[in-house]
Each structure stands twice: as C-alpha cells, then as structure tokens.
Chains A and B, each alone.
Chain A
C-alpha cells in the first residue's frame, strides 16, 4: 500500500539533515568543513519553512507565502554570512597557516 505524504515526512527529513549538520560541526576539525556543515543546518531549517508554508493553505487555496519570503531573507543573509566568514577564514589562515580548529587558541585563558 502506498502511503500518502504528510507534513511529518518533510519535517523528519529537515530534522535529520539538521542532525547530520550538527554532528558534522561537532566531529570535524577543519574550519571550512565546519562552516559548510553550518550552511547545511541553515538549509535544513529552510526545508521546514517551505513545508509549513505549503501546508498552511489560505482562503484563496494558495499556500501562505510569508514563510517563503522569510526563506528569501535567510538565503540572502546566508550569502552575506558566507562571504564574511570565508574572508575571516582566509585571514586566520594567513596568520596561522592552518585551517585546523585546534590551532585557534588565541582566546583560550
């Protein structure tokens, strides 16, 4: 028997993707990969936004587009964040010659 797709399906995928990204942030040592895992978590959250938007049907039969507008802003902010974050990583690499997070201990103690 073929099951029908529900909101839960999409939220479960979104949550699983978020958990994968989170595990990556905790396990990896390379700062660039950690940053990529952060982006993964951000877009996992995007999936639940789109799902909620799609399942909130308004009076005119169309989805509620407010969620998709928020997603538009999230994508814009993510683009700005990546540009600044990577510039910071390049600056860190220039001073430490490594991208291993273990080497960045200037603020310890």
Chain B
C-alpha cells in the first residue's frame, strides 16, 4: 500500500517535471499523460474510483488528445535552447521554493494533517461512490450542474465563433 503510494506519487511528479523540462511540446504532452495516470492511481488509492476513472477519461483521454491535436495542427517547433535568464530562473526557484517551504511549515504545524489513512469500514450493502456522487449531483447540487451545462454550451458556441472569424 505504502510502496504503491510512493510509486504513483513519483510517477505523477516525474511526469510533471517532464512537462517542464522537455523542449519538444509533443514530449511534454506525453509526460503530462504519465503524470495524469499517476494522479488517477492516487485517486483510486483514496477510494475515489469514479474520480480516478474520470481523470483518465477526461484529462488523459480528451484534454490531452486535444492538446496533441493542436500541437500537431500548428506544427509547433521545439523550443530552441536559450540561455535561461538569471531573473526568470531565480523568480521560478524563489516562487516555487517559497511555496513549498510555506506548505511544509503549514503541514508541520497542524495536527489535522497527521490523520492516518485507514481502510474504509463500510457495510456490504453500502451504496458505491458513483451512486453517492450521482445522488448529490442531482439533489443538493442540482443548480450548479445546470450552470455547468450552460457553461459547456457557451464554450462550444465560443469555440465555433473563435475558429470562424479571422482575428486581425
């Protein structure tokens, strides 16, 4: 169980680092898929089966295919090796490192984070997580899901409009 956690966490992080350091956008996109697979495995380890599958289907399946499609449509060249300006490197290291330090201090200070992951103790006839999420979506969250439907419609229309008209 623990070994799997470290394996999948390392997969997700290595994929993320691969996205940042690969100069070829196609390699970046594939590293991103690896990262999402690791994340989905972590979700499943947290007993979130539906969300883990959705992560693979929507992110690794749909979103990354869209990215790859656009990269290949535009025929994006590899970024040429350029000298990293000291400013950009220092800013990235300072912001990311500062964020990690802050996170570490917060995690160390608060005891709530030390809660131990124990196996779920559910009766055999308990509804599955798909059932529970579906129940919540169409009862408590009935209004947000309608808004999301409208949002998807607006996005579809927006994409059609954007790709029809020439920008100048």
A-side residues, CB < 8 A to B, are 2-13, 15-24, 26-30, 32-33, 35-37, 39-40, 43-44, 46-47, 50-51, 53-55, 57, 60-63, 65-66, 68-69, 71-73, 75-84, 86-95, 99
Q: Are B120 and A13 neighbours in the complex by a CB distance under 8 Å?
A: no
Most interface-central of A12, A29, A37, A76 (chain B CB within 10 A): A76
Give which listed residue, B1, B84, B107, contacts A11 with CB less than 8 A: B107
Number of interface residues of B (CB under 8 A): 86
Cβ-based interface call for B159 (8 A): yes
Bound-complex Cα distance A54 to B19 (A): 28
Give which listed residue, A7, A27, A44, A94, contacts B84 with CB less than 8 A: A27
Closest to B108 in A: A8
Q: Are B25 and A30 neighbours in the complex by a CB distance under 8 Å?
A: yes
Closest to B144 in A: A73
Closest to A19 in B: B96
Given contacts A5-B2, A9-B9, A11-B103, 14 further A-B contacts (CB under 8 A): A7-B113, A15-B100, A19-B96, A19-B97, A26-B91, A26-B92, A37-B20, A43-B36, A47-B39, A63-B120, A68-B133, A80-B154, A89-B70, A91-B163
Bound-complex Cα distance A51 to B132 (A): 17
Q: B5 to chain A: which residues have CB within 8 Å? A: 5, 9
Bound-complex Cα distance A108 to B76 (A): 25
Q: Are B73 and A90 neighbours in the complex by a CB distance under 8 Å?
A: yes
Q: Are B136 and A66 neighbours in the complex by a CB distance under 8 Å?
A: yes
B-side residues, CB < 8 A to A, are 1-2, 5, 9, 12-13, 16-17, 19-20, 25, 28-29, 32, 35-36, 39, 42-43, 46-48, 50-51, 54-55, 58-59, 62-63, 66-67, 70-71, 73-74, 76, 79, 82, 84, 88-89, 91-93, 95-97, 99-100, 103-104, 107, 112-117, 120-123, 126, 129, 132-133, 136-137, 140-141, 144-145, 148, 151-152, 154-156, 158-159, 162-163, 166-168
Min CB–CB distance B139 → chain A (angstroms): 11
Bound-complex Cα distance A47 to B17 (A): 17
Q: A5-B5, A11-B107, A22-B96 are in contact. Are A90 and B25 (CB under 8 A)?
A: no
Q: A84-B155, A87-B158 are in contact. Are A95 and B67 (CB under 8 A)?
A: no
Q: Are B92 and A95 neighbours in the complex by a CB distance under 8 Å?
A: no
Q: A69-B133, A72-B137 are in contact. Are A39 and B63 (CB under 8 A)?
A: yes
Q: A40 to chain B: which residues have CB within 8 Å? A: 16, 19, 32, 35
